[in-house]
Structure 1
């Protein structure tokens, strides 16, 4: 398999963490979708990463689709139940964590890719509002859990939340989320020591 992506994309990182936890071998192909000579649309018509090229040459895109497929390839470290309410709960955690990422990426694009005179502070503030509301919800939900997002077992929910929190550290440092969300801090400190998170940590640039 080949995974097309960047080192700083949090969606790519989520996929790489899953690959590491599942102990699946793959080739990582770096791609900058912002470059004019990017070839990503040959594999994903939306021009986004991650994109997984499977052994038979077929492609999958969108991190949520990819990680769900990867979990079926090996019995090692099952990250999603096959069905039922627990599976739905884990997918909800992933959805809200990805919502945090969507808002943080939107802020980053507004601040970095748009000319200063065209930036909208109202738009940026709206995205911050989404992040804060999501962090508050996740922190309150964790007060009832002894170890991980959905109980005592490490799942895709924890991977998604961990990647979201660490992306905020990378791109939205001004939030200083740890001081307001102790349950999320506890979880993040636990996740950051896992080899899968250590090996996929993005460069700080």
Structure 2
């Protein structure tokens, strides 16, 4: 399998964490979807990452769809319950976490592509409100539990750590840790997992490894230079 993505994208990160937790082999091909010569639409007509390309050339896109598909490929570390309220709970957590990330990305796009005189502060404030209320909901839902849903690692935890990690990456001024110490504890626990530690977001171009590419370090031979916020699908 080949995963087309960007190292700064929280949605690509979510898929990479799932691949690592499921112990699935893949190649990561970096793509700057903002570049004039991007070829992303050859695989995903929407023009977004992540995009998972199978051995036969068929593509799966949108991180939620990709993660659900990947969870069916191996019995190792099942991340999504098969049915019922447990499944709905995990998917609601994912939707909540992705909502935080969606709002954060929207703010970044507004600030990057509009100067201070033309950007909409009302729009930015609305997105910040979504982030604030969603973080409160996360904190209430987590309470003092170790995991967001069930009594084990699920996609809920993966989605939450990606959203919080993206806030740290792009908005260090948002002090969510002091406001929600239980989320901070959950984030720190999750950050010790190799799948999370090895996928921390970055704008830097990767250095090609000397050894054969591993599932979490494989990159395309000609990684693109970031030219703006990663245009990502959920």
Tell me if TM exceeds 0.5.
Answer: yes
* Alpha-carbon distance in 1 for matches of 2:38, 2:141: 41
**CA displacement 1:126-173 (0-9 Å, x = unmatched):** 100000000001101111x52100132100000000000000001111
In the other structure, the counterpart of 1:78 is 78
Q: Is the 8 A contact 1:170 1:204 kept in 2?
A: no
CA-atom RMSD in angstroms: 1.1
In the other structure, the counterpart of 1:160 is 159
**CA displacement 1:69-112 (0-9 Å, x = unmatched):** 00000111000111111001000000000000000000111112
For this pair of structures, how many residues does the alignment match?
204
In the other structure, the counterpart of 2:221 is none
* Alpha-carbon distance in 1 for matches of 2:178, 2:203: 22
Any runs of at least 4 consecutive aligned residues in structure 1 with deviations exceeding 6 A, and if so which? none
In the other structure, the counterpart of 1:120 is 120
Tell me which moved more, 113-122 or 33-42. 113-122
* Alpha-carbon distance in 1 for matches of 2:116, 2:70: 41
What are structure 2's unaligned runs of at least 5 residues?
205-234
Which structure has more relative contact order (CA 8 Å, sep 6+)? It is 2
In the other structure, the counterpart of 2:176 is 177
Larger fraction in helix? 1
* Alpha-carbon distance in 1 for matches of 2:120, 2:145: 41
* Alpha-carbon distance in 1 for matches of 2:191, 2:127: 25
In the other structure, the counterpart of 1:10 is 10
The alignment's TM-score, normalised by the length of structure 1, stands at: 0.96
